[in-house]
Amino acid sequence: MNTNRPPISRSGVKVIGAVCAAAAVVGAGVVTVVLDDHGSAHTDMLAGSGDAPTNTVYVKPSVSAITMGATATLSTPDSVPATTEAVPPVKAGS
């Protein structure tokens, strides 16, 4: 039962790879054709305003003007003491 088979050459491996790739592409095409519902569910989502049906007129949404709000003034609160030098409460290694 032990037979000596010649090893597959590089060109043989490339051919096998090309056949596998072609089979994958053909298989993807077959699956696409089989599972395609010919766009019947997708036609209801066109054109309307928001989620409206397709037989309505599109109404462009309106956006109000930008308001900047109140202007902030930076100042130190009166209850905070002035700090001349920052000193950590804990030193490393202690």
Q: Where are the domains of the chain?
A: 10-39
Is the pLDDT at 3 greater than 80? The verdict is: no
By the 8 A CB rule, do 9 and 16 touch? Answer: no
Q: What is the pLDDT of residue 19?
A: 97
Residue found under tokens 């993807």: 28
By the 8 A CB rule, do 58 and 47 touch? Answer: yes
User: Helix, strand, coil % (nearest 5) of the chain?
Assistant: 30, 0, 70
pTM passes above 0.85: no
Measured distance CA(68)–CA(73) in Å, rounded: 14
Q: What is the pLDDT of residue 23?
A: 97
